[in-house]
Every structure is written in C-alpha cells, then in structure tokens.
Amino acid sequence: MKDRCLIIAEAGVNHNGRLDLALKLCDKAKESGADVVKFQTWKTENLITRNVGQAEYQKKNTGVDESQFDMLKKLELSYDDFRKVKAHCDEIGITFASTADEPESLDFLVSLGIPFIKVGSGDIGNVSFLRYMGSFGLPVILSTGMSTLEDVRISIDALKNGGANEITVLHCTTNYPCPYEDVNLKAMITLKEEFGLPVGYSDHTIGKDVSVAAVAMGATVIEKHFTLDKNMEGPDHLASTEPSEFKSLVDGIRIVESCLGTGRKEPTEEEKKISSVVTKRIVAKKPIAKDELFSNDNLCVKRNDVGELSRNWDQVIGKKAQREYKEDEGIEI
C-alpha cells in the first residue's frame, strides 16, 4: 500500500452508533499518528438474520445477552453519517476507510471514494462477494482470521477472478482480546511465502508489542482496534487501544522501520571512521631485520592505524620482510 507500514486505527463500531463519537475517533486517530481511521459499514437487515446469538467475547464485553441483530442495529451508522465522517477526515487530513459488510454498503463506500477495499475475516470464503469486491479494481486488504491456508487461497482466487490485482493479506486471530499464545505471528510469514503477496497483521492483542514485532518481521500494514476509552460500553472497546497507547504503538513502529535499513551487510560511514582506530592489524612483536621471514615469533596483532589487516595473517606468515621494522610498527607486504 505504501513505502512504509500503513497504520490503520480500527475505529470499527467503537462509536457506539453515535456520529459525534465517530468524529471524535477521527480526531484522536489523527493526533495519535495513524495513517487511516477505519470503520465498518452495513445495513443490519442485509447483514444478519434476526436470531443469531452473540459471540462469547461479545457477551462478555457488553454484559448484555441479546441477538447480534439487536446489538448491531444499535451500532449502525447511516450512510449520511458516513458522508459526514468522510468529509471530516478530509478536512483534518486523515484517510477515511471502512469495511463493507454487504454489497449495498460496498457500493456506497466506493461511491464515497475509499482508497482500498477492506475484507473482514467474516467474509473469508464468501466467493461471490469477494469477486464483486475485486471487480472495482481497487487495492484490497484481506483479513484472514478464523481461516486455513486453503480458505485464504480460495478467497484470493475469488478476488483475482473478480479483477483485483493489488492484494495485501493480513494475518489475524479473531479473538477479542487475543491471548499472546494464540497470535502465531509466524503464520504471517507463511502467508507471504505461500502467496507471494504483501502481508500485514490485524492485531487484537493487548498492548503494542505484537504489532511492533510484526513490522520487524515484514508487515506492510498494521491494523489495531482504537477507542476513546476502554471502559465504554460495547463489544470491542475492551480489546482496543486508547489514543495515548496508540501513539506509543505508532512511535514504536516508526522506530523499528528506521532500524530495518537496506538489508545489505556493510559498515556505515560512522563505522568506517571508527574502524580506522579500532581495527586490529599485523604489527611487529619485536624488531625485525630486512629479509627476515615473518613468523608467529616476530608478529602479533594489535589495534593500529597502519599495516595489514589481521584477516591477512596467513598471507603474511612466511613472507620476507622488505625492510626493517621496529616493535609495534605495522607490517606491509
């Protein structure tokens, strides 16, 4: 998506169905250093049947036992609300994005001008919808929670068959919060090797450490749930990151990026300067006469600014001295 890691503040449903909170989430995401603030867009009637129960984490985090339909209906923002959110993002200078959870909302978001299509883990294997997503020709970010490698393959094929030609695959463990022992961050590398596509990580753990580690391992996109206050009512607040924590996460990622470098193993310019006074060279252990053979008896290795490098020891031993050497004088051949 970008030369540096794209950091997405996943506001999701943490606006609790209120436009004012959605706008405030945009402001705080911008202040925290996020590149993108992302929401979720749906019409509940198009998304879910009326009697599906909540996931266990939703029951635990909300403290309310109700159908998913009733929960989502309360969290739903209107299309007009999202127009206002998008306009506000443009005004303050942060990229707006949203996951479309059903085709009608995807049409709306594309008309609004989203920079990429985000596929939630719940649509892994949803081949007809994935083909439709691909048909817009926009970059796609695909989350892969709750899936096997074959599930991901089917989903990527569907996106490509629809017309998508720029796909980033996010490793993800769908649990809120996700225990560290369930992260399986090496699976992100497996996805990269298997599909030859850019990879990233959708982070549902507590804290910043796993996201920072993912960037060190090659993540090009990090998505992290974002809230104004973890103590607010709602299914995702508890596993989300507050603004100060999110800023720390962004800072950590940018530090890691600055450390990654080119991958070429070579000394820096400062190391070259230091090397001239700390590198060990071959010097005379004691006075050496002209035509005397260099040997273990008359040579040693010390820090010195002239003379053959210590790595050339085998090439020096047995050679004749071309001149006299004083003790500690650098040997030249």
Which of 4-8, 84-88, 275-279 has the least mean pLDDT?
A: 275-279
**114 has a pLDDT exceeding 70:** yes
pLDDT band (50, 70, 90) for residue 1: very low
Token pair, residue 253, equals 């990622």
| pLDDT, mean of residues 106-128 | 98
Q: Specify the pairing of strand 95-100 against strand 36-41.
A: parallel
Cα 212 from Cα 255, distance rounded (Å): 9
pLDDT at 2 over 90: no
What does the pLDDT read at residue 276?
87
The pLDDT value recorded for residue 236 is 87
Instruction: Give φ, ψ of 268 to 5 degrees.
Output: -75, 170
Is there a cis peptide before residue 139, judged by omega within 30 degrees of 0?
Answer: no
CATH of domain 6-260: 3.20.20.70
Mean pLDDT for 145-164 is: 98
User: Can you say whether residue 112 is alpha, beta or left, with left for phi > 0 and alpha for psi between -120 and 50 degrees?
Assistant: alpha
pTM over 0.85: yes
285: its two tokens: 């252990």
Retrieve residue 268's tokens.
């820096």
What is the sign of the dihedral through the CA atoms of 21, 27, 28 and 33? Answer: positive
One-letter amino acid at 250 equals V
pLDDT tens digits along 263-289: 999 999 999 999 988 999 999 999 999
> Per-domain residue ranges for the chain?
6-260, 269-316
Q: What is the arithmetic mean of pLDDT over 81-90? A: 98
Q: Where are the beta strands (DSSP E) in 80-196?
A: 95-100, 117-119, 140-143, 167-172
Count CB neighbours of 18 within 10 A: 12
User: Can you give the pLDDT at residue 235?
Assistant: 84
The DSSP 8-state label assigned to residue 59 in this structure reads H
Q: How far apart are CA 258 and CA 204, in angstroms?
A: 25
CA-wise closest residue to 109 among 39, 156, 168: 39
Q: In this structure, is the dihedral angle defined by the CA atoms of residues 267, 273, 276 and 279, taken in order, positive or negative?
A: negative
Question: By mean pLDDT, which of 45-54, 172-181, 294-303 is the weakest?
Answer: 45-54
Tens-digit pLDDT profile for residues 59-78: 776 678 789 899 999 999 99
